[in-house]
Amino acid sequence: MTLDDILDRLHVVALPMRVTFRGIIVRELALIEGPAGWGEFGAFPEYEAPEAAHWLAAALESAYRQPPPPVRDRIPINATVPAVDAERVPEVLARFPGARTAKVKVAEPGQTLADDVARVEAVRALIPTVRVDANGGWTLDQAVEAAMALGALEYLEQPCASVADLAELRRRIDTPVAADESIRKAADPLAVVRAGAADIAVLKVAPLGGISALLKIAAQIDIPVVISSAIDSAVGIAAGLRAAAALPDLRHACGLGTGSLFVEDIAETPAQEDGYLPVQPITPDPARLQALAAAPQRRQWWIERVRACHRLLPR
């Protein structure tokens, strides 16, 4: 596919969010309407071109190549709870009907461990299985303290930033440790597994360069895999569902229910049923693409970003 062809197929949208998530209240991303379907390029604005190019590769794969054959037609989904006050937890969880697992954001800048404990306890009162995601926000000692304070958890996701700290943390606590950033931001995504630093691998389609790249990594590790989103629109979520559907083994609920965090998405998405989402293609609604289109200067910013990333893709 040529750069001109990609740009001719580009739509840039700005999706307002219900709550601030990862410091974002409006999610900008570019969508590519290709011959095989739709692809999503949503690398966060602070990512430089070498990292963002993986996200573009994932978008192009979805737009220009057929997905792998599925082995399941629905995927268990976890509820996602941003770093909101504990009293807002029921409101958030109401958007995840039937979910039996919840992922709770913790270690938010400006908040305390007491805030995290209150939020987790509010979730635990409504959903039986709870996992937390610190996005590498704790030191090793803070992670040990948090594991003690937060009680029984399915796992701690990326509690510390470094692989060495993750490995040491596993020796100090009984709670399983999951790696996210240590896989998707690493030059060698398998290093964290070889170091014995994770019990579970959290894999995301876009940062890893596409469904096929994700499945290749999953095939080379001997720990369970959880597929998660990167605050994706319905198009990106569909890619995550297709990846999860192609895994030979899927033991844990996936973090692919984040579409409910948007005030409005680019397509009418299927509702969760009994904690599951169906695996099916998504076609954006033309009216929504127009209504949610980013401002002209932001569209141009994304065009230039596509140009910069496209130069870095293998030929």
Active site residues: 105, 204
CA distance 310 to 315: 10
Instruction: Sort residue 274 into left (φ over 0), alpha (ψ -120 to 50) or beta.
Output: left
For 295, counting Cβ atoms within 10 Å of its Cβ (0-12 exposed, 13-18 middle, 19+ buried), the class is exposed
The helix or strand, by DSSP H or E, that contains position 183, with its residue range, turns out to be helix 181-184
Mark 153-191 as b/e (b = at least 16 C-beta within 10 Å): bbbbbbbbbebebbbbbbeebebbbbbbebbbeeeebee
Distance CA 56, CA 42 (A): 8
157 is in an annotated binding site: yes
- Sign of the CA dihedral 9, 74, 267, 14? negative
Residue 261 is classified by DSSP as: G
**181 labeled part of a ligand binding site:** no
d(CA 96, CA 86) in angstroms, rounded, equals 17
Residues flagged as binding site for Mg(2+)? 133, 157, 180
Residues flagged as binding site? 133, 157, 180
